[in-house]
Amino acid sequence: MTNLPAEFAELGLSEPLLKAIAEMGYETPSDIQREAIPHILQGKDILGLAQTGTGKTAAFALPLLQRIDVNNRTPQLLVLAPTRELALQVSEAFQTFARYLGDFHVLPVYGGQGMDLQLKRLKRGVHVVVGTPGRIQDHMRRGTLQLDNVHSFVLDEADEMLNMGFQEEVEYILEQVPENRQVALFSATMPEGIRRVTQKFLRDPVHVRVKSKTKTVDNIEQLFWKVSGVNKLDAIHRFLDAEEYEGVIVFVRTRNDTLELAEKLLSRGFTAAALNGDIQQNQRQRIVEQLKSGQLDIVVATDVAARGIDVSRVTHVINYDIPTDPEAYVHRIGRTGRAGRSGKAILFVSPREMRMLQVIERTTGSKVKQINLPSRLDIRSLRIERFKKNVLETIEREEHKLIRGIVEEIAEESGFDIFDIAGALAHLAQKETPLMLGEEFTEEPEDRYEQRDRSFGENRGREKRDRDREPRESRDRGPRRRSEGMAPYKIAVGKNDGAMPGEILGAILNETGMSRDEVGSIAIQRDFSLVELPADLSNAQLADMKKIRVRGKQLLIEKWKGEADFRRERDDRPARKVVIRKRRNEDY
Ligand code: AMP
């Protein structure tokens, strides 16, 4: 039976919420939760400077859920999120936290999903609506979203919403919700646009932010790997294969994650154990002793459980999940580099969490260096190097002397070459770590795995470089080079409507649920624009997309008639061809 998390209870949260939190395996509140929850419970407006990874979702969801009357099945809380993925993620979090609140309903609404389904569920009654600005505005205009009982309102990743061109929608929505509502705004940065929204719509907000004082230490090498392509489990496997370690502490967020990851590592042949707040003191001591003595190499822990571990054998800390605040980061990495030894701290950061990394760097005053995932070839050469070193050290320490006679006997009796015999012994010595691992890759210039995993952004970069290398003539006259499987489409908004590429991109992504790599270049013309999209969009998809609005105008999208036309119909001035930057919150 898990203990109810005491520190959460001190924040004033109710029993059903605490029970859900305990089940999720949260042990202590994160900084932002500790700061924001009591104020939100008191009904105050909140301005939170917090990025993904800080636990901001729980920081607003838990206290606002406490204010929901489940017996009244009308929308009481509205959450705006910039993307469909985030809207879904936040909805899921609400549903999980509300597990013991009774008959609770949360509805994600976003473009791309049929209106009918959303209307049906809205009619049936929901307590919380989480949606993208475009679609929420749409429902408001149609009168399908009842606002009379909305008493709280959240803007999540507000800066991202403005970046995507949703300022108008956000303001429209805020103007419609009842006067007496409570507003919580979370944003990773505070650009002018956010300041304006804050001044206009928040009343005497309490400012909360992730803070830190602690500095990191110099004898720890700090590295990060940006999660992409390979999942984190495969990645940690590779790092553990490539790194020369003695003891490792792997940090994850929750108790449940410690159990799950330790089990997975065990099944992959590592000696690993979980350490979390549920584990009894004597069992905990046993695990630490085993780590000290070398019976155990890997401990998968939560922040709380690993606090104060002082084992000089710990050569590595792996932050499998990014910590929720810089202070926790400093505590975590301080588990290595003990007793004057040096240590290595490797942090896994998903693209959405890059801002958190910047905060860590800024507040700890240290630079975390980016590293690549070791390729199979890297691992192979590392293993061979390690093997050679072991062989030489064994000879230097004269540990082979006793057994040398047997080798001589084999040579005499068999007549085989001494290198063949040594080769056979090396083969036997490999055990579960084959030295020639990944041999299949040697014929290829690059690791196949890496090649497949190369992200869209990099491919595009390469494509551009290739284009840049083409002779100027062919570039100017020849057909414009297009990404494979993509085709140009015409949309009815252009420069005269004030449309910006970011808005068009944002609207398409949100309203269709397409991923970022399904939208290519956007060329803004005077009265219309051209957008590269998958060539095989169905009529039904196009019909849905026609209705998407940018700057109040429907896109009325239609297929463009091919490359030559695409160029000819341009404005007299060179069209602004914009390759949109990769979105921070891209879905991997
Ligand atoms: P967020 O910043 O809201 O996107 O949260 C990032 C991750 O941290 C999510 O996976 C949450 O489930 C997790 N999380 C949030 N609060 C806590 C906490 N107090 N303890 C452990 N994990 C948490």
Q: Which atom of ligand 1 is nearest to the CA of 28?
A: 19
Domain-wise residue ranges, the chain: 8-209, 220-374, 378-429, 448-587
Instruction: Give the residue carrying structure tokens 């419970």.
Output: 41
Domains 8-209 and 220-374 belong to one CATH topology? yes
d(CA 579, CA 566): 16
Classify the C-alpha dihedral 194-587-502-362 as positive or negative: positive
Nearest CA to ligand 1 atom 15: 55
Q: What is the distance in A from the centroid of ligand 1 to the CA of 233?
A: 19
d(CA 68, CA 151): 9
**Torsions phi, psi for 269 (to 5 deg):** 95, 10
d(CA 532, CA 535): 8
Number of Cβ within a 10 Å radius of residue 362: 11
Q: What is the distance in A from the centroid of ligand 1 to the CA of 324?
A: 7
Q: Check if the beta carbon of residue 49 is closer than 8 Å to that of residue 210.
A: yes
Number of Cβ within a 10 Å radius of residue 491: 28
Q: Which atom of ligand 1 is nearest to the CA of 254?
A: 21
Give the global pTM.
0.62
The secondary structure element, H or E, covering residue 546 is helix 539-546
Sequential pLDDT tens for the chain (588 residues): 445 667 899 999 999 999 999 999 998 999 999 999 999 999 999 999 988 888 999 999 999 999 999 999 999 999 999 999 899 999 999 999 999 999 999 999 998 888 888 999 999 999 999 999 999 999 999 999 988 999 999 999 999 999 889 999 999 999 998 888 999 999 988 889 999 999 999 999 999 987 655 566 778 999 999 998 788 999 999 999 889 899 999 999 999 999 999 999 998 889 999 999 888 888 998 999 999 999 999 999 999 899 878 898 999 999 999 998 888 999 899 899 887 788 999 999 999 899 999 999 988 888 999 999 988 788 888 888 888 988 999 999 888 888 899 999 999 999 999 999 999 998 888 766 677 764 433 323 333 333 323 232 333 333 333 333 333 333 333 333 456 778 889 999 988 888 888 788 878 877 777 777 788 888 888 888 889 888 888 887 888 888 888 877 889 999 887 553 444 333 333 333 333 333 333 222
Q: What is the 3-state secondary structure (H, E, C) of 57-76?
A: HHHHHHHHHHCCCCCCCCCC
Best of 324, 357, 585 to mutate for ligand 1, by most ligand atoms within 8 A of CB?
324
- Measured at the CA of 474, the angle between CA 469 and CA 479, to 5 degrees, comes to 110
Ramachandran category for residue 88: left, alpha or beta (phi over 0 → left; psi -120 to 50 → alpha): alpha
Residues with CB under 6 A from ligand 1: 26, 29-30, 33, 52-58, 253-254
Is the CATH code 1.10.3720.10 the one for domain 220-374?
A: no
Q: What is the distance in A from the centroid of ligand 1 to the CA of 313?
A: 30
CATH superfamily for 448-587 is RRM (RNA recognition motif) domain (3.30.70.330)
Instruction: Give the residue carrying structure tokens 């919150």.
Output: 585
Q: What is the distance in A from the centroid of ligand 1 to the CA of 14?
A: 19
d(CA 421, CA 178): 84
Q: What is the distance in A from the centroid of ligand 1 to the CA of 169?
A: 28
Fold of 8-209: Rossmann fold (3.40.50)
Q: Which two tokens stand for residue 198?
A: 């804050």
Task: List the beta bridge partners of residue 248.
Answer: 298, 316
Nearest CA to ligand 1 atom 22: 253
Best of 35, 49, 51, 57 to mutate for ligand 1, by most ligand atoms within 8 A of CB?
57
Instruction: Give the residue carrying structure tokens 């926790």.
Output: 328
Best of 30, 35, 303 to mutate for ligand 1, by most ligand atoms within 8 A of CB?
30
- 481: which DSSP letter? P
Task: List the beta bridge partners of residue 79.
Answer: 130, 154
Q: What is the distance in A from the centroid of ligand 1 to the CA of 53?
A: 6
